[in-house]
Amino acid sequence: MNHDRMKNFTIVEFSDSAMEVVPSSWVDRSTGAILCYWTAHNVRAQVSACHLPNKSWAKYAVKKIWLCTDSYDKAMKKCRRLMDTSSIETEDDASVHKRQCKRPRRFMTDSSSDDESVPQMRKSVRTECVSGSPVCPQLPPPPAYESTPHRKPAGRPELDGSIMMQAEAELITQREVRHHTEGGGSAMETEMRAMWTSITRMAQRMEKMEQRLDEVLMLLRSSQSQSPPSAPVDDMLLSPCSTVTELEEFDRSLGQQERREKMQLFLTTLGGSTRGTAIRRMLRRVATNDVLKQFSLRGRKAKKAFQDLTICRVITAAFQKNFPGVTAAETEDLIGQVLKFAPHRRPAEKD
């Protein structure tokens, strides 16, 4: 059995130099740093009863753990002795002058009704520096670190080259100032010059890449402007066929190779983010929903067969051009699904 576990009370010194007796279970070392749970309600009663801490309590940084003991009274006596003399071995000395310290924030509560449950703060003295000890030079303040939230951050925005260069230049300037402050040697200066040279080269390369991208964009735009105009679309294609007779007449006009190619090119320009959206756009550009609901893919249930029409093959070819990995059989299945649900679709419904 671990002997330390039998010592239920611990004397801790917080970061504000205040000492307290707490149950050993209130001390948390799981994060690497030493923290202590604390509550402002009935502290004396909860400490003497050695209650377990509540996870909702606040945690405060512990500067030092002085000792552990198995008795609350013994821990309180040693805590008073530590606050008076900063030594456990010395006895109580009435001649030690004490000054009144401010109550730490962990004793403060929002409501004034809890004043009775808040324990009175014991007077504590700060340990003075020994006059013979050397004075430490004034150092720059450490960087402030913010706690990372326990959730996935949002998408980080991408930084362009100018922002990255500016950030790295500021970082190098800070390092240079720190270097001159600390009195570094010439090796650091050489390293900084080499780093600055590499950053300058990277910036020049990025500028060249941007120039090349601009040239490529100009070439693309010029090629699009010089490309021949698209083939004119037949007037009949400007509006979908509203009757079965119109659809059959239009299908007969597709017997010419030139008209089939124009129709296929026209259907490929309709787009669609998904397969279902693309096939629905093509079919509704050819005929209205009232016409489509009179067809099925193979002509079942007293309906006309859509796969016998030339427009079905034209739609299949246009769809496979937009989606190269789809077979003709899969395209016909998608057409059959659209025709199957055409009677149940409302006229105002759009993709």
Tens-place pLDDT, residues 261-315: 999 999 998 888 888 899 999 998 999 989 898 898 888 888 899 989 999 999 9
Instruction: Return the pLDDT at 119.
Output: 46
Instruction: Annotate the chain with three-state secondary structure.
Output: CCCHHHCCEEEEEECCCCEEEEEHHHEECCCCCCEEEECCCCHHHHHHCCCCCCCCCEEEEEEEEEEEECCHHHHHHHHHHHHHHCCCCCCCCCCCCCCCCCCCHHHCCCCHHHHCCCCCCCCCCCCCCCCCCCCCCCCCCCCCCCCCCCCCCCCCCCCCHHHHHHHHHHHHHHHHHHHHHHCCCHHHHHHHHHHHHHHHHHHHHHHHHHHHHHHHHHHHHHHHHHCCCCCCCCHHHHCCECCHHHHHHHHHHCCCHHHHHHHHHHHHCCCCCCHHHHHHHHHHHHECHHHHCCEECCCCCCCEECCCCHHHHHHHHHHHHHCCCCCHHHHHHHHHHHHHCHHHCCCCCCC
Q: Is the pLDDT of residue 116 over 70?
A: no
Q: Is the pLDDT of residue 251 over 60?
A: yes
Domain ranges within the chain, ordered by starting residue: 4-89+98-115, 161-213, 237-344
Lowest mean pLDDT among 85-89, 139-143, 227-231, 272-276: 227-231
- The whole-model pTM stands at 0.35
Q: Is the pLDDT of residue 177 over 70?
A: no
Q: Is the pLDDT of residue 188 over 70?
A: yes
Average per-residue pLDDT for the chain:
74
Instruction: Return the pLDDT at 183.
Output: 52
Instruction: Return the pLDDT at 128.
Output: 47
**Higher confidence at residue 176 or residue 96?**
176
Local confidence band at 320 (pLDDT 50, 70, 90 cut-offs): very high
Q: Is the pLDDT of residue 66 over 70?
A: yes
Averaged pLDDT for residues 15-23: 84
Instruction: Return the pLDDT at 118.
Output: 44
Instruction: Return the pLDDT at 140.
Output: 59
